[in-house]
Amino acid sequence: MTGHNRFERFAAPGVRSLKPYVPGKPHSKLERELGIKDSIKLASNENPLGPGPLARAALSEALAGVGHYPDGSGHALRAKLARLHGVDIAQVTLGNGSNDVLVLLVETFLVPGVEAIYAQYAFAVYPAAIEASGATARIAPARPGDVVQPLGHDPIAIVAAIGPRTRMVFIANPNNPTGTWLAEDELDALLQAIPEDVLVVLDEAYHEYSAPLGVPDGTRWLARHPNLVVTRTFSKAFGLAGLRVGYALSHPDVANLINRVRQPFNVSVPGLAAAAAALDDRAHLDATLNLNRAGIEQLRAGLAALDVSAPPSAGNFILADFGRPAAAIDELLLRSGVIVRPVDNYGLPHHLRITTGTSAQNERLLSSMAQALAKAR
């Protein structure tokens, strides 16, 4: 339905100007629209291997319990995460994906009259959640496109944006959609520079992918900075995107406040079971990381051969820069049955974000890309 919304005047002020988040196009929608089959989706940073065998077994066993509500506190999973990270269970908050946790933080701490900061080209959920709360968003300019971490977070700009009304700062490490990251010394200095009365939300959705590259583990700073909140997810490296399980690690006082807003059954019975099992499946995680590293190299080398720039990435995706509007290229890829992610909504109309797939999927992408580039000239 389009046109005037008769109920808009009743909506909260921050909601009226919001635009719905647009996820990556599903296989079924593309195939239905274009009448094609066997499409591949490299748009949503999903794990091409899916869940590992331990998670799949746990899912099968959990089916017997889906007639009952889940443990509202998620005690078993929270206890396991607390042991993994060396924190108290009271510091762990579960979410329906880490996206849920990010929104819970905003709902808990942001109100009209205060400000929140995020970096240019950062995850689209940050501005949407801030706007819905009625708080004011401040965007810290990103690094330029011709430096070592092109379009990534600029710690100096983030600190410069902090003012007397700042209540929250979002930092994505590594960042989606740019794949860039802050090194340990940069992150440490940034955390020290942010005032103690400003909450720092360190979004580490891609931590498992980035850790082997030396990207720091933000949880090591939790004891030193009570204003720090680290968010993680099972949607990416653990292959559980469809189950929606994420979590936050924070000071117990922060967690106590978040839990006043969190809905009691926000993680399902299958989600709790599969996430707990996935933490034990090191073999599957290693296979995922190995496939991803090979995929990053395959995509970057293949795109370079097509004269398309794709800087290093610490996630499971690359950001391809075509040096010209990418919409026509994206449309041609769709018609060949290859779904990638346009990022013009991030202010990057010359770029496409491409998730790493299997070797065969990556090769199909590169072949389709070559054809699309030839036609789009």
In the chain, where are the structural domains located?
Answer: 24-50+283-375, 54-278
C-alpha to C-alpha distance for 152 and 334, rounded to whole angstroms: 28
Instruction: Kindly give, in sequence order, each residue whose CB lies less than 8 Å from that of residue 61, ignoring residues fewer than 6 positions away.
Output: 273
- What is the reported pTM? 0.93
Best CA proximity match to 273, nearest among 65, 98, 49: 65
Buried b / exposed e along 57-85 (16+ C-beta atoms within 10 A):
ebbeebeeeeeeebbebbeebbebbbeeb
Nearest Cα neighbor of 310 from 251, 244, 369 is: 369
Distance of alpha carbon 40 from the chain centroid: 20
The whole-number pLDDT of residue 2 equals 54
Are 299 and 354 spatial neighbours (Cβ–Cβ below 8 Å)?
yes
pLDDT in tens, 188-211: 999 999 999 999 999 999 999 999
Confidence band of 120 (pLDDT split at 50, 70, 90)? very high
Residue 18 has pLDDT above 70, yes or no: no
Residues 175 and 121 sit within 8 Å (Cβ to Cβ): yes
Which CATH code of 3.90.1300.10, 3.90.1150.10, 3.90.79.10, 3.40.50.1980 fits the domain covering 24-50+283-375? 3.90.1150.10
Give the span between the Cα atoms of 240 and 46, in whole angstroms: 8
> How many Å apart are CA 115 and CA 117, to the nearest integer?
7
Say what the pLDDT of residue 1 is. Answer: 45
Buried b (16+ CB within 10 A) or exposed e, 209-232: bbeeeebbebbebbeebebbbbbb
Question: Cα–Cα–Cα angle for 28, 102, 54, nearest 5°?
Answer: 60
Split at pLDDT 50, 70, 90, the class of 27 is: low
* Cα atoms in the Cβ-side hemisphere of radius 13 Å centred on 77: 29
The tens digit of pLDDT for each residue in 33-79 reads 777 888 899 999 999 999 999 999 999 999 999 999 999 999 999 99
> Is 84 within 8 Å of 247 (Cβ atoms)?
no
Query: Distance between CA 334 and CA 122 in Å, rounded?
Result: 25
Q: Which CATH number fits domain 54-278: 3.40.640.10, 3.40.1280.10, 1.10.357.10, 3.40.50.150?
A: 3.40.640.10
Q: Could you read off the pLDDT of 357-375 as tens digits, one per residue?
A: 999 999 999 999 999 999 9
**Tokens linked to 239:** 């292959």
Mean pLDDT of the chain: 94
Residues 304-341 pLDDT 10s = 999 999 999 999 999 999 999 999 999 999 999 999 99
Instruction: Return the pLDDT at 3.
Output: 67
Each residue's pLDDT tens digit, 224-273: 999 999 999 999 999 999 999 999 999 999 999 999 999 989 999 999 99
